[in-house]
Amino acid sequence: MLTKRQLLVLKEIIRSFTETGQPVGSKTLMAELPIHVSSATIRNDMKALEEAGLIAKTHSSSGRVPSTKGYRYYLDNLVEPAAATPYEIAAIQQGFGGHYYKIDEIVAQSARILSNLTNYTAITLGPEVANLKLTGFRMVPLGNHQVMAILVTNNGNVVNQLFTLPGAVDSDEVEKAIRIVNDQLVGLPLGQVARKLQGDVPALLFKYMTSPKGFLDIFGNVLKQAAAERFYVGGRLNLMDYLDDSDVRKVKQIFSLFDDDTSDINQLIGPVEGDPGVRVQLGQELTPDVLDDLSLITASYSVGDHGTGMIALLGPTQMPYSKMIGLLDAFREELAKRLTDYYSHFDQ
């Protein structure tokens, strides 16, 4: 069992190492610790901490650095979140200044604000689309066989895509098809819409259209887009600040993780059961192996019954956790407020 003083030493080692990035020696600790004991005493405590696997030496006669296990212990037991400063709150609010036409714009902006504020990399994910409903579908002919398909969901999100229609299409038929979609599918959750698209809808369309395949393709395509979870990354370049000594390949790999929509980002920062508030994952705990000497702080935010979304900060293992946790906590609240406000336009 570790004594109270030993934990104090651990805490101070982490604080100092976070600040300076240098291994911490017993003398430094003696000067910084609130209690007054000699460096020899501290050395004994450090030995105990090392035996417990919480700190480690870089070489046989060096100061100590926190180990992953040490951080884990610190985060689980010792860390005291620091409330966000008024300056930070102001910066967040100012960052959100301006008008947004889509939720995604707010979510994307969140990533920007967070990364600017922290100088780390921020990843944000919009509110879950689980109970998203279809509220409208339009197809606008633009001449030259071009058609824009627009799909609206009950959270006010809009996705659109351009298509080129093959040769001759009967615009009356398309008109009818759109009416069928709006009659049969509007108001249903997107999941159910997708299911019906495999089920009775094609048969229904066949009654009015000679070949509903093209139409179904278009609709299915836009629907898929609307149901896709899009994440936003801000401050990706900051990665280079804390990875510069290690090799470039790593940076490249992480970048392509961000660019690849099909990647496991969702798995990485997706919501977990039983909202744990702000959560920190470290080193090996992170699933894509590239991230294994980094640290990820995730936080969920909830927007009433519009589901919950996620915000996350990716940074070096030696982040100032107490500050970052406090900041993320403040941010999630602010973001939830914004989104609730935004949604209220669509809730009547």
Partner DNA sequence: GGTTAGCACTCGCAAACGTTCAGTGCTAAA
Partner DNA sequence: TTTAGCACTGAACGTTTGCGAGTGCTAACC
Of 34-42, 244-252, 267-275, 338-346, the window that binds DNA (rule: CB under 7 A) is: 34-42
Q: How many residues does the chain have?
A: 348
**195 touching DNA, by CB under 7 A:** no
- Residues making contact with a copy of itself (CB under 8 A): 99, 101-102, 135-136, 138, 140, 142-146, 148, 150, 152, 156, 158, 160-164, 237, 240-241, 244, 248, 251-252, 255-256, 345-346
**118 touching DNA, by CB under 7 A:** no
Distance in Å from the first CA to the final CA of the chain: 58
Q: Using CB under 7 A, which of 7, 8, 33, 39 touches DNA?
A: 39
Of 18-26, 184-192, 228-236, 267-275, the window that binds DNA (rule: CB under 7 A) is: 18-26
**20 touching DNA, by CB under 7 A:** no
Q: Which does 138 bind (CB under 5 to 8 A by kind): DNA, a copy of itself, none?
A: a copy of itself
Strands 64-66 and 294-302: unpaired
CA 56-238-116 angle, to 5 degrees, is 115
Q: Which does 31 bind (CB under 5 to 8 A by kind): DNA, a copy of itself, none?
A: none
Q: Which does 50 bind (CB under 5 to 8 A by kind): a copy of itself, DNA, none?
A: DNA
Of 37-45, 102-110, 221-229, 261-269, the window that binds DNA (rule: CB under 7 A) is: 37-45
Judge contact between 3 and 45, C-beta under 8 A: yes
**173 touching DNA, by CB under 7 A:** no
Q: Using CB under 7 A, which of 46, 111, 303, 339 touches DNA?
A: 46
Q: Which of residues 57-96 bind DNA (CB under 7 A)?
A: 57-64
Task: Report CA torsion sign: 336, 341, 345, 347.
Answer: positive
CB of 299 to a copy of itself, least distance (A): 26
* Tokens at 20, concatenated: 């300076």
Judge contact between 63 and 56, C-beta under 8 A: no
Q: Which does 23 bind (CB under 5 to 8 A by kind): DNA, a copy of itself, none?
A: DNA
Q: Which does 83 bind (CB under 5 to 8 A by kind): a copy of itself, DNA, none?
A: none
Residues in contact with DNA by CB under 7 A are 5, 22-28, 36-41, 43-44, 46-47, 50, 57-64
